[in-house]
Structure 1
Amino acid sequence: MTTPETPHLLIVEDEERLARLVADYLRAAGYRVQHLAEGSGVVEWVRRERPDLILLDLMLPGKDGLDICRDIRTESAVPIIITTARVEEIDRLLGLELGADDYMCKPYSPRELVARVKAVLRRTLAVEPPLESGPLTLLRDELRVRAGDGEIELTAVEFALLETLYSAPGRIFSRDRLMDRIYRDHRIVSDRTIDSHVKKLRRKLADVVPDHELIHSVYGVGYRYEDLLPAASDQPPAA
């Protein structure tokens, strides 16, 4: 019997017989399971339903699994297990570091898949202790930031940016270093992309700590996190 606390899994697979077989095994293992047969609506579904894990086929009608994985990773850290018949591309896919947590090559054993799901969930559902410093508490499992009675939700990229700066108060991070930390797929982005993320993050933080300046620009170098009241800051105006 499943409950609202039972892990909720999404199968994205266009082979109906395989999807039904995998769903039966996962339900027998005690999971709640839903299935989508094409790729175009997956990102919106994930945003709305917030599954605990996704089994993602690569070759899908509507939208390719690689594009889905990239899009999900811009806003969610939900575990993803890739399933694919494109065995010859696995090394390349792993080299791209798309952000998937595991992969399985077709044909695969449903029992092995269930074991992989359990292993990934054991790692990812383990409760991460919150990070607390100054006025903020970072809820890493929820991509949320809390300050007093206020709370904001961040995208995965914004949270990774804040967590990087927050974990080393006073340390200056160059834009290149921040890009390496927040883009695991090593995509090519401009310095202005980091500046844009910082600008949005500052606006959101101002909603919960309007009387603090937390992310500081270091002219010509990058950014640092430090809890200072605005009047005490010696840094140039926000970029």
Structure 2
Amino acid sequence: MFRILVVEDDKAISRLLELELTHVGYNVKIAKDGDEALKFYENFKPDIILLDIMLPIRDGFEVAEAIRDYDSDIGIIMITAKGELESKVKGLKNADDYVVKPFEIEEILARIEALLKRMGKTKELIKVGDIEIYPQNMEVLVNKKNVHLSLTEFNILKLLAINKNIVVSKEKILEEIWGYYDEENNNLVEVYINYLRKKLKDSTQNIETVRGVGYVIREKESKT
């Protein structure tokens, strides 16, 4: 899960960003002034900083410069109400991108994703038909809708998806998910497979039982 440090003294804006970024799967921390931003940076180790320019104690320019002195790889997106060219040029010396208030949350999300790509950091995706699996934040989508799975359910689905069109034995599932094989626990696999089938009922993909062998997801085309 990518970490985003939001440095913003306006509580309404910082809360909006926290809710929206958390909703799409980012790990978010809020700092309300420049000093707090530097303190949280040390402990939180963010991938990207959303950094307001007009901050108490230290402004965004100072924060960006201080962080850049010993971290040239971190992504910094400056956020400010100032739209003048002079401020943009000054801000971009230590930043990767620049957003002017008021902004749409979709713009922020798009800029974060674009910056992560430029940094070589992208969300890992395992896709089987209309099922999308994002291992970093344990997110599963069916037809673009979130499906909540337990950790065990998620790990079994990921194992089957990685091996799509290949039959995975009960023995392998037990060894991969529970760390050991015990024939008496074969029924445990069946129980969790049934849980998964119920939760994935809206998908075009089926978890098939290959009698005497194991289970398989055979990729089919999504519904249109």
Q: TM (normalized to structure 2)?
A: 0.51
Please list every run of at least 4 consecutive aligned residues from structure 1 whose deviation after the TM superposition is greater than 4 angstroms.
none
Aligned residues: 121
Asked if the contact 2:51/2:79 (under 8 Å) is kept, the reply is yes
**Counterpart pick for 1:109 among 69, 89, 104:** 104
Aligned partners of 1:61 and 1:99: how far apart in 2?
19
Aligned partners of 1:13 and 1:59: how far apart in 2?
8
Residue 75 (structure 1) aligns with: 70
Distance 1:96-1:33 versus aligned 2 partners, 3 A rule: closer
Q: Cα RMSD (Å) of the superposition?
A: 1.8
Q: How does 1:160-199 map to 2 (within 5 A)?
A: none
Aligned partners of 1:105 and 1:113: how far apart in 2?
10
**Counterpart pick for 2:118 among 123, 126, 129:** 123
Aligned partners of 2:91 and 2:36: how far apart in 1?
24
Aligned partners of 1:95 and 1:64: how far apart in 2?
13
Residue 54 (structure 1) aligns with: 49
The Cα shift of 1:91 comes to 4.0
The Cα shift of 1:86 comes to 1.0
Asked if the contact 1:22/1:110 (under 8 Å) is kept, the reply is yes
Q: TM (normalized to structure 1)?
A: 0.48
- Residues 89-120 of structure 1: per-residue CA shift (max 9 Å, x gap): x4444257522010100000011111111111
Amino acid at match of 1:18: I
Say yes or no: does 1:30 pair with 2:25. Answer: yes
Say yes or no: does 1:87 pair with 2:83. Answer: yes
- Residues 106-157 of structure 1: per-residue CA shift (max 9 Å, x gap): 0000111111111111111349xxxxxxxxxxxxxxxxxxxxxxxxxxxxxx
Long gaps (5+) in structure 2? 123-224
Long gaps (5+) in structure 1? 1-5, 128-239
Residue 40 (structure 1) aligns with: 35
The Cα shift of 1:41 comes to 2.5
The Cα shift of 1:49 comes to 2.0
Amino acid at match of 2:82: R
Distance 1:95-1:45 versus aligned 2 partners, 3 A rule: closer
The Cα shift of 1:33 comes to 0.6
Asked if the contact 1:25/1:111 (under 8 Å) is kept, the reply is no
Asked if the contact 1:69/1:98 (under 8 Å) is kept, the reply is no
Asked if the contact 1:8/1:52 (under 8 Å) is kept, the reply is yes
